[in-house]
Amino acid sequence: MPNHVRPSGRRAAVVLTVLALAAGACTGSDGPTANLDPAPPPPPASGPDELVMGHEFNASSTRIVNPSAQTGGTLRLGAFADANSWEPARTYYAWVNDVQRLYVRTLMGFAPDPIRAATVVPDLAEAPGEPNRNFTKFTYTLRDGITYEDGDRVTSGDIKHAIERLYQPGVLVADQTVTLRCLLAECDERNLPLYLGPRSGHLSSIDTPDDRTIVFTLRESYATFDYLMALSSTAPVPPSKDTSAAYHKRKLATGPFRIASYQPKRQIKFVRNQRWNPDTDPIRKPLLDEVVIEFIPDLNELDELLIAGAIDARADTGLQPAFQTEVLADPELRKQVDTPLDGGVRYLALSRSVAPLDNIHCRRAIAYAVDKQSFQEASGGPAAGIPAGALTPHGLPGYDPEANRLPNGADFTGDLEQARAELDACGRPDGFAVNMSYLDQDPEPDRARAVKDSLARVGITVTLKKGDRATYFTTIVGSPATIRRDRLGVASAGRSSQLPTTAGFWREFAHGDSIQAIANPNIAALDNPAINRLIDRSLTAGPDQWTAIGRQAEEAVMDQAVYIPMLHSAKAYWRSPRMTNVYSTDFVGLYDWVNAGVSDSE
């Protein structure tokens, strides 16, 4: 791998003609990114005019950074570890799903710009799924002229086979794939399907009347089914080539790139797929010749390669603390950094099974007294995210940056007067004692101490209880019995939006049906009939109602004062000065590699 000079950042802004890709995103709109001092928005695009839009700090969440029409070159990425699998059916890491946009196409996909990146749009399909009246049946028609890298045509039967493969015993599936499997086949109480894959027959719930039509009949209403059809795990697989899980050994790429070589735990290389037809693909506008990912288990070496320019970015996650501190302190290097919100929210879960938190006024006292600014600082400062007034992450229906049902002061440092009023109302004017559990993993200990110190200001005495990584979310805060036994009134946790839908975020988090004895995702054990109905309604309502339902769900959950939002999380990402057409998604935060380019031909 050739070395590049250390980027100084002192480069003239490049004046370039804006692509159609860039024009759709350069609207001048400010997005809710985690800014330290946000760059001003660019002027609106107007026809063929040229715009000065070089690299700036934290610009990729609101526009295309460094737009360019230049083709060719190799994008060099690094990652700490290899994927668990490059087989789409077996992938569950978000960063691998993001990379798979290079070579995997699905019926639906996510929009290729930062403003609408949480929106699904047609990919292999000509249009979104056509639903019946109660959203239990969806019909898709494939675009004509789509082939695999070996020239064979993609058919509806290939998509059916790919989904049936998800039921094979031993296939690891992500949570959202569990949802898909149980919509199309009967599952037991553990969400394990009774159907065992294509070797045991075919799913009657998927019909393929011809090679371009596929019809799904669901076991219950699921209005956001299009989002499930954007999962890379549903990418087509022809039955005749389904020989193993070694995806890199089969000619199955449908995107503009294919896997050229793969050395496990060392490197994977993607090169252009000559059989890809750009006329059939509204999402991908590739410029690169190659994308190479090096797997580098030494984090210090990774940082050294980034700063030296030997690799352009990390494919898997953000910067390590030391490197992050260095580049954010340097005005020039900082221009190569983005800190987009990543679709996650850190929160405190308050247990009503532990007195005095069975009293809503005592719970509200915590909500008003806690200092979210100190929590942010303990998390790593502004680059780690923004103080949260609402639970709904950016990119989900119902997200409102101004929403705050339990305001703890204009600067999020606490409303101590209101907290004391709530303590009076709950009969504890001098405060009370409570245990708080936290994960024994940085930066959680610092976050826990920040909560403890801020609540002490109104007499709420917190005893910290650390939990180990192996059991924290299974048998500690994930066990209602443990919470009662150890009187864990407060728990520190977080949640990400695996799918940017109301049900995808709220169902496990706040629906009564999600409560379980071990690995309980509903840590606060919230089981409110009205909230349950709202979440269920999001699966029986059309897209025009999703935002309103999302906001109602947010308000209803917040009114229970069992989940206290603390931080909308972000990560700091480095992008090389040679990278062009850079933008990040607004519910995962990662860059969209398939539309990126480089400013040289190396």
Alpha-carbon distance values, 484 to 477, 478, 561 (Å): 10, 12, 18
Q: Tell me the CB-side half-sphere exposure of residue 214, using CA atoms within 13 A.
A: 31
Residue 17 pairs in a beta bridge with 50
> What is the pLDDT averaged over residues 377-384?
93
The per-residue pLDDT for range 420-449, each reduced to its tens digit, is 999 999 999 999 999 999 999 999 999 999
What pLDDT band is residue 52 in, cutting at 50, 70 and 90?
Answer: very low
**Distance between CA 589 and CA 342 in Å, rounded?**
4
Q: Which residue has the higher pLDDT, 518 or 169?
A: 518
> What is the pLDDT averaged over residues 183-197?
89
Residue 290 pairs in a beta bridge with 74, 271
**Distance between CA 567 and CA 390 in Å, rounded?**
9
Q: What is the pLDDT of residue 29?
A: 32
Q: What is the pLDDT of residue 23?
A: 31
For residue 50, give both structure tokens. Answer: 């040229």
What pLDDT band is residue 490 in, cutting at 50, 70 and 90?
Answer: very high
Average pLDDT, the chain: 88
Cβ atoms of 419 and 458 closer than 8 Å: yes
Q: Which residue has the higher pLDDT, 37 or 507?
A: 507
What is the C-alpha R_g of the chain? Answer: 24
- Region of 519 on the Ramachandran plot (φ > 0 left; ψ -120 to 50 alpha; else beta): left
Strand 74-79 and strand 313-314: pairing? parallel
How much of the chain is in helix, strand and coil states, percent to nearest 5? 30, 20, 50
At residue 232, does pLDDT exceed 50?
Answer: yes
**Distance between CA 137 and CA 194 in Å, rounded?**
21
At residue 39, does pLDDT exceed 60?
Answer: no
- DSSP letter string over 55-72? --TT-TTTS-BS------
> What is the pLDDT averaged over residues 62-77?
94
Q: Which class is domain 342-570?
A: alpha beta
Cβ atoms of 415 and 409 closer than 8 Å: yes
> What is the pLDDT averaged over residues 166-181?
78
Helix (H, G, I), strand (E, B) or coil at 120: strand
Cβ atoms of 104 and 120 closer than 8 Å: no
> What is the pLDDT averaged over residues 84-106?
90
Q: What is the pLDDT of residue 529?
A: 97
Query: Structural domain boundaries of the chain?
Result: 342-570
Q: What is the pLDDT of residue 17?
A: 28
What pLDDT band is residue 9 in, cutting at 50, 70 and 90?
Answer: very low
Cβ atoms of 540 and 223 closer than 8 Å: yes
At residue 580, does pLDDT exceed 50?
Answer: yes
At residue 30, does pLDDT exceed 80?
Answer: no
**Distance between CA 518 and CA 478 in Å, rounded?**
6
The per-residue pLDDT for range 540-565, each reduced to its tens digit, is 999 999 999 999 999 999 999 999 99
Q: What is the pLDDT of residue 43?
A: 32
Q: What is the pLDDT of residue 173?
A: 65
Residue carrying the six token digits 């400062």: 381
Q: Which residue has the higher pLDDT, 176 or 168?
A: 168
At residue 315, does pLDDT exceed 60?
Answer: yes
At residue 172, does pLDDT exceed 90?
Answer: no
Nearest residue to 591 via CA among 343, 199, 223, 314: 314
